[in-house]
């Protein structure tokens, strides 16, 4: 299921937070969404997931227009927002069971068990979410994003707050999920992009300044590192 973005824009008064961007994310590929602070990444992701109405333009997922079929599209997408709104008074298992129920999943307890294992929450599964460390809260966020086995995953800084061991595990999980899904991740960690992504887009002040396969982007910039390319295009 492809994600196709056409002339997508979001304006806040005079400010063009996202200014007519175009790109495509393809199945079986992981797209890294990069840009400096305030460039428009979260705003774009919120529009792709139906949490924010665009000022103009379109987001199309699996051939469906987000404006026309928001509910259908939401079922196809797993979304990890920047600050995952979790119910801190709920227990991990209880919360995931609740999410599974809202999606109307069958075999809910089996699926909850499976995602708990997948994201490495086994040891923390009986705790209240509010008692978890930042990294484990992030894992709960990831678990809720993948519980309904969506074909499209949109992950806003999925590895922020994770320690180096957790980073390795979660990156491996995302890489694995990316084998058959369409994945878009935003991150500030260039190493992560190198390790995970096939394609990259760079946004600066609301406008796209790069949109290519990583290997092609490097070729275009005479083999420069991704970090140097990022700096060159965004400073
Ligand atoms: N509700 C809002 N009202 C007004 N301006 C907003 C609103 N939400 C975002 N903005 C502005 O839009 C711009 C893009 O913000 P956005 O959160 O998309 O950036 P980002 O690329 O995700 O940044 P970061 O890397 O810091 O998370 C910023 O200048 C921000 O201040």
- Per-residue HEC secondary structure of 42-79 comes to HHHHHHHCCCCCCCEEEEEECCEECCCCHHHHHHHEEE
- Predicted TM-score (pTM) of this structure: 0.93
pLDDT (tens digit per residue) in 189-232? 998 999 999 999 999 999 999 999 999 999 999 989 999 999 99
> ipTM score of the complex?
0.97
- Where does the pLDDT of residue 67 fall: very low under 50, low under 70, confident under 90, or very high at 90 and above? confident
Helix (H, G, I), strand (E, B) or coil at 150: coil
Question: Which residue of 32, 35, 40, 234 sits with most ligand 1 atoms within 8 Å of its CB, as the best mutation to test the pocket?
Answer: 40
Lowest mean pLDDT among 28-37, 58-67, 209-218: 58-67
Strand partners, 202: 34, 210
How many A from CA of 153 to the centre of ligand 1? 21
d(CA 21, CA 161): 29
């Amino acid at each position: 299921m492809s994600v196709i973005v056409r002339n997508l824009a979001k304006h806040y008064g005079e400010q063009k937070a996202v200014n007519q961007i175009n790109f495509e994310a393809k199945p079986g590929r992981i797209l890294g969404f990069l840009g400096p602070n305030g460039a428009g990444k979260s705003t774009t992701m919120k529009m792709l997931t139906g949490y924010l109405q665009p000022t103009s333009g379109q987001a199309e997922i699996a051939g469906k227009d987000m404006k026309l079929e928001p509910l259908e599209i939401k079922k196809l997408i797993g979304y990890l927002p920047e600050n995952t709104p979790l119910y801190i008074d709920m227990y991990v298992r209880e919360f995931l069971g609740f999410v599974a129920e809202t999606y109307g999943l069958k075999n809910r307890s089996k699926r909850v068990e499976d995602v708990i294992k997948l994201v490495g929450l086994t040891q923390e599964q009986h705790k209240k979410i509010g008692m978890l460390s930042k990294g484990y809260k992030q894992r709960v966020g990831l678990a809720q994003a993948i519980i309904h086995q969506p074909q499209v995953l949109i992950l806003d800084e999925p590895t922020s707050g994770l320690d180096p061991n957790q980073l390795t595990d979660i990156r491996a999980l995302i890489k694995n999920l990316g084998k058959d899904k369409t994945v878009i991740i935003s991150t500030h960690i260039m190493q992560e992009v190198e390790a995970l992504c096939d394609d990259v887009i760079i946004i600066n002040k609301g406008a796209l300044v790069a949109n290519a396969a990583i290997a092609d982007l490097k070729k275009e910039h005479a083999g420069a590192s991704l970090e140097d390319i990022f700096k060159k295009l965004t400073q």
